[in-house]
Homo-oligomer: A and B are copies of this chain.
Amino acid sequence: MAAGCRYGSHRVLEPRGGLPQPARRLDNDMARVYDNEILLDVIALNIDSASFTQLEAEAGHDVDRIAARILAIVAERGKMQNPVTGSGGMLIGRVARVGAALADRGLQVGDKLATLVSLSLTPLRLDRILKVHPDIDRVEVEGQALLFESGLYARLPGDMDEGLALAALDVAGAPAQAAKLVKPGDSVLILGAGGKSGMLVAFEAMRRAGPTGRVVGNVYLEADRDVLRGLGLCHEVVVADATRAMAFLRDALQANGGREYDVVFNCVNVPDTELSSILPARDEGTVYFFSMATNFAKAALGAEGVGKDVTMMVGNGYTRGHAELTLQALRDNPALRRLFEERYV
């Protein structure tokens, strides 16, 4: 079999010549596997939260109707991309076949993987649905899926609950970027430090900033203050509303002895926090937007409007080694691991 496009455009049926994510329909004929594809026997789909919430509402919270809708979407599109939200999720499966061109990946038939690229671009064929778990947005299935040459995945670790690993891998980009950006002695501010990505970023920031640096975590709820402190995830916690920029700036600087920060991470999940990320950063500092609620124009025009010469980065969910780094963070902080197990598994 020939090699396909490394980004999977050879599987796009509509519109031709495009990429798999924006495509309306993918070729999910698994009888043909290209030399640079990996075929997986699927165990479970982890539907993304926005998509699952929409499916539940549409189906009146009836699991059989949710299952029927998922089967219909995949039959129509060749992938599990919610037509309303546009979003996907990830899947767990076992390697069924590795294309000849990818023999050097060291994968064996039977290896258990989690895909780290969205279901919205993953060719999928469902044979049947075994069980829907609405409490954790998971669907046990029988079927097959394909990973392209560029498709990211992680081997599921043997020392960790599968649900725990998935919860961490879902946000693996953020702590891995923090590990690259934060240097010894840096002062670091994390907006939304009480969430899943925020806590992992805080843990990496503490580790990288070292004893001479300072890590300040911002949370919206008073209750999260003690959680962060108890886990040792930052030197100080600021309880403040990041949508109110001037008051936020005052509180954030006070927590850093009046000095601006070297690096700011935005891990919140609400809009209108761009200026609260930009204002506390020092000139020539870095602002890293991991929040998907970030508005590009508000960030670009916001920095110019306040005359801040800061480097603003778009959160890339992928950086080399991100899965390994994130799973290791949970191994290295047993208390954080317990919290993740309680909250997200």
Contacts and interface: CB of A to CB of B under 8 A. Distances in A.
A314 B21 CA distance: 23
A99 interface: no
A309 interface: yes
Contacts of A43: none
B150 A307 contact: yes
Q: How many identical subunits does the complex contain?
A: 2
A307 B312 contact: no
A101 interface: no
Contact of A304 (B245, B294, B318): B318
Interface string A92-134: 0000000000000000000000001110110000000000000
A173 B307 CA distance: 11
B18 A245 contact: yes
A177 to B, nearest CB: 9
A42 to B, nearest CB: 19
Contacts of A309: 316, 318-320
B173 A304 contact: yes
A312 B279 CA distance: 20
A289 interface: yes
Interface core residue of A18, A306, A318, A319 (most chain B CB under 10 Å):
A306
B246 A152 contact: no
B152 A307 contact: yes
A305 interface: yes
Contacts of A199: none
Contacts of A313: 311-314
Contacts of A302: 21
Contact of A316 (B173, B244, B294, B312): B312
Contacts of A184: none
B314 A314 contact: yes
Contacts of A289: 296, 314
A20 B151 CA distance: 45
Given A246-B19, A275-B19, A317 B295 contact: no
Contacts of A295: 296
Given A7-B279, A150-B307, A245-B18, A301 B320 contact: no
A117 B300 contact: no
A17 B316 contact: no
Given A294-B296, A296-B294, A303 B275 contact: no
A246 B121 contact: no
B307 A300 contact: no
A7 B279 CA distance: 9
A5 interface: yes
A4 B25 CA distance: 57
A101 B162 CA distance: 60
